[in-house]
Structure 1
């Protein structure tokens, strides 16, 4: 880890520097103390005077502001209002942790998951203990996938509904505009017209919602159909237009509109981030609650874990690659050409201790499984840490990804354990899991 003296020096430098920030995203969330780490990012920025300050941790003023819209719709955020049936893991924002999906499918009883819809996802490769989920999906009574590919997950589906391609539909960037370092808006019209029988993903989702969620009363079902017809006529462009007009940059005369965005195909710059507090706070009294009891109560677990660490143990972390971005880009020849990139990074000290050589095959093992991977000896990782990129593992039967199958690699989530979670939030601890590595040649001999 990082030496205590170095941490103290960084803290002092942060506190005495006018423009500085502690920044964290997904990487700090997907480990066994993700909740605490995310909380402490906010706490440190607040205590050092860098929260909602220029050069520090700031918040956007997006053209379509989802936060107040969500509150108007009754979604003000939630945690632990209900729990998963089998393991009792807490919901967050109305969603349960994906680590509980396989057991919710395979465990009999009231509330058992018997059908599933996936949309543009590949959880067999992206969730921990993917082989367990792979087997669980076979037990479903019915499965629908909205996806253009027959991949590791959708090969289990009874019905695959392929949507239009990315160049056949319009796009307005909604979510990334919430976490950008500058305010902006951009609309992209479709490049090519869709075919007569093609459907956009939003049209597929609307129709599925009517069929699955609609009431059995004919009159009410007809009313639902009317609502869907209205949304279909309005379409994404109509919703974007309403959002822009009602948003913080569209209220003034000459403000932002879809027509204006169409005239600026490269996007519209809406200026630097501005201070948003206290109006951006949705707490009672417009105060930041820096010490919630949930986080304080989790600190003893962190102390115990630090005391349990043993010299010589190996932990596994994933990594993202520019040309790989999850699993779906591996079916492009342009993106997978060149040297193999599904390789295990091992520090030279660990390689020497374990008898691993650069370029040779190794066996990466955990409590739930093992994979064979080529080794790259590198000081890019710390001693005691090995790293394998995620999204690979295209060698399962039934997959129809001709390019990806020729560059199959190994899935890191055939090794990650779905029982390893952040006990506070229930989120999968994808990084920092204990593993062992041994040379494949030594195993065979």
Structure 2
């Protein structure tokens, strides 16, 4: 088996038909881990979910969210028939599909005819990425109707990382990831992979991977909070929004002490001289002080990383969400390059690619720009903080119609109150979703789409992030509930009414569809896999894989004879010469902005202000699983406060406290703990429900993003990232 010691092929089984009573082997589509599941079906319903211990990739791992997904599928509050708003906000009537599709198509045609395609915008929510038909089909559909305004969750989570990739690699995708199976020193910055299951990596057994690294070396977690990942390993507690300072201080030590691999940099990169010159401007002692750490500790960490033979830096969304997220994301790549970790065993790498040519969604950095504020897009994604202005500000290109796939920006995007006001002014607001959430209650139409138990699929977004060669395909476990329809079918029906042949009417795809090869994106992906390194190449490779063959291996398979080409990393670099770019005018400007920045309020003994950061919870996924009783019955989220900060404000554990800034005020329950750095408070986003889901409405909590502002002053201009983390806030004991 060579380099894949755990390689094994899943058990061969007879196909189980959709909806048939008994056990169905499928996989979770909540995050990039794509853990295997066993679904127990009785009388057309999924009555239980449990981990699939025969899945050769996840081998029995699954989180509490995955095994409760059937509660969403069969939720009495779920939308299972098209809805049309009738009367006040949140008041809907059920209508037939033909009426809904006709009304939506007529309204789109009228708006585009009178105001042009710039009057139509879209919003892409996180769950969309985990449905092949939704993510690929939505992009094709928007392209077919001429929509170029793509708003979405990316400006709340990944835009900064995509910008860092764009500068260093030449394109926003793919992400580089740590070589977990060979790493001996893993430094984690701004990530909590034991809760997130490894953002950006398809590695479902993350706890086992980290334990193995710690057993043979070190796992160091840099975070303002002692997270679930920090607790079992080494924790370096830093002040929030200081990641860039920490990386720069460490890089200065590595350069000054001759630990940088300059031969490797000269052979594989451009601009490293300019990077060295910029880092020379950093006072490492002062930079360490900005993190709250002693310089000697920072220097020791830098030396240990640089002198370790197999080391990698791994970063998550926490690195992206501060006031200097773009610079931090660039430094993440530059830090891994400084000691030649690209393509080195145990260093940073790109995931295995088992797919043939698939056109990526989106572009680089720049156009299209937001109509208001002229903020650039990243990979085609615009800054969501500018969406309210795009709807409300008069002028050419004003947004009058919004098409939203699986999103809830009123709770997950900045300036919730301003956004809510703007969304209520739209002439057409269509949501493709399965709940009347806080955003959808403002929609003109809600079209019900399937949960992952009701659709056929591949682990699509994980296929470019694999550390081991794995393939799996699943048919739908059950037929769609009620009148739920597949996302791609909906796009096709609207497109047909607009006079388009299909969401993507290219002659090549039409010809392939006539041959039965390409139908929906799930079928298109089958064709891509068949032409890829693991595929059957339409019969030329009898040992290869296709959708039909994988149906007989429902647990999935570890693919044999796939070379681990991580050392060919330069082939994944988009720059024509295959070399990294370690300096860029965009980065020069961000570097200057960092040096000119003052220490944030609350970080210098200020007894009034604290810095508010978010956090993840293993039972929660943004806002959309809060109607599942087993996940939320533990109680509403709390505001974490350090004992010193609580004492200074006369706050006791469990007290109600007021958290406020110029944008708004919230009343939250305080939880005093030592697991957070002094001067900081932590509260998760996605709470404060008040829509068409009864259990969620009873969870308590508040919408933390009401404290974030909408508009250009609340955006990191270079990346479009919303400034919703590291907010200076006033925390006081609430009046009795």
Q: Same fold (TM over 0.5)?
A: yes
Q: Deviation string for 1:83-106 (max 9, x for gaps)?
A: 111111111112211111111111
Provide the C-alpha distance between the structure 2 equivalents of 1:10 and 1:225, rounded to a whole number of angstroms. 54
Are 1:433 and 2:719 matched, yes or no?
A: no
- Aligned-pair CA distance for 1:205: 2.3
1:30-51 alpha-carbon deviations (Å, 9 max, x no partner)? 2211111111111010111212
The corresponding residue for 1:267 is 556
Q: Counterpart of 1:24?
A: 315
Secondary structure (helix, strand or coil) at the match of 1:330 reads coil
Kindly indicate whether the alpha-carbon contact (under 8 Å) linking 2:353 and 2:466 is maintained by their aligned counterparts in 1.
no
- The alpha-carbon deviation at position 421 of structure 1 amounts to 2.4
Which residue matches 1:242? 527
Residue 616 of structure 2 is matched in structure 1 by: 320
The question of whether the paired residues in 2 share the 8 Å contact of 1:32 and 1:428 is answered with: no
- 1:135-174 equivalence runs, <5 A: 135-174=421-460
Q: State the Cα distance separating 1:308 from its structure 2 match.
A: 5.9
In the TM superposition, what is the alpha-carbon distance from 1:238 to its structure 2 partner?
A: 2.0
How far, CA to CA, are the matches of 1:114 and 1:437 in structure 2?
Answer: 39
1:42 corresponding residue in structure 2: 333
Aligned residue number for residue 701 of structure 2: 409
Query: Matches of 1:299 and 1:195 in 2, distance apart?
Result: 53
Pick closer, same or farther for the CA change 1:283–1:211 going to 2, 3 Å.
farther
Aligned-residue offset at 1:283: 0.6
Q: Which has the higher strand share?
A: 2
Residues 222 and 181 of structure 1, relative CA distance in 2, 3 Å threshold: closer
Given the alignment of the two structures, is residue 254 of structure 1 paired with residue 543 of structure 2, yes or no? yes
Distance (whole Å) between structure 1 residues aligned to residue 529 and residue 466 of structure 2: 17
Tell me, yes or no, if the aligned pair for 1:60 and 1:183 is still in contact at 8 Å: no
Matching of residues 5-404 of structure 1 within 5 Å: 5-64=296-355, 68-70=357-359, 77-194=363-480, 197-211=483-497, 214=499, 230=513, 234-250=519-535, 252-270=541-559, 274-307=566-599, 311=604, 312=606, 313-338=609-634, 340-395=635-690, 399-404=691-696
| Aligned CA-pair RMSD | 2.6
Aligned residues: 428
Write the distance in 2 (CA, Å) between the matches of 1:423 and 1:283.
Answer: 24
Instruction: State the 1:172 CA deviation.
Output: 0.7
Deviations along 1:278-314, one digit per CA (max 9) or x if unpaired, are: 2111212111111122112210111122456551241
Distance 2:325 2:504 in 1: 44
In structure 2, what is the Cα distance between the partners aligned to 1:190 and 1:177?
A: 20
Alpha-carbon distance change, 367 to 211 in structure 1, aligned in 2, over 3 angstroms: farther
Distance 1:152 1:423, change over 3 A: same
- State the TM-score, normalizing by the size of structure 1: 0.89
Where structure 1 has 5 or more consecutive residues not aligned to the other structure, the ranges are none
Q: Tell me if structure 1 keeps the 8 A contact 2:351–2:465.
A: yes
2:644, 2:503 → 1: CA distance? 68
Task: Tell me the distance in 2 between the aligned counterparts of 1:381 and 1:108.
Answer: 45
306-315 or 22-31, which moves further after superposition? 306-315
Contact residue 81 and residue 90 of structure 1 kept, 8 A: yes
Counterparts of 1:416 and 1:241 in 2: how far apart (Å)? 42
What's the counterpart of residue 716 of structure 2?
A: 422
The CA deviation string for residues 337-371 of structure 1, in whole angstroms up to 9 with x for no partner, is 12x24110001111111121101111111221111
How has the CA–CA distance of structure 1 residues 402 and 180 changed in structure 2, closer, same or farther, with 3 Å as cutoff? same
Give the drift of 1:195.
5.9
Separation in structure 2 between the aligned mates of residue 328 and residue 108 of structure 1, nearest angstrom: 33
What is the TM-score when the length of structure 2 is the normalising length? Answer: 0.55
Q: Distance in 1 between matches of 2:532 and 2:506?
A: 29
Give me the whole-angstrom Cα distance separating, in 2, the residues matched to 1:157 and 1:266: 39
Q: Deviations over 1:50-75 (max 9, x none)?
A: 1222212111123225xx5327xxx7
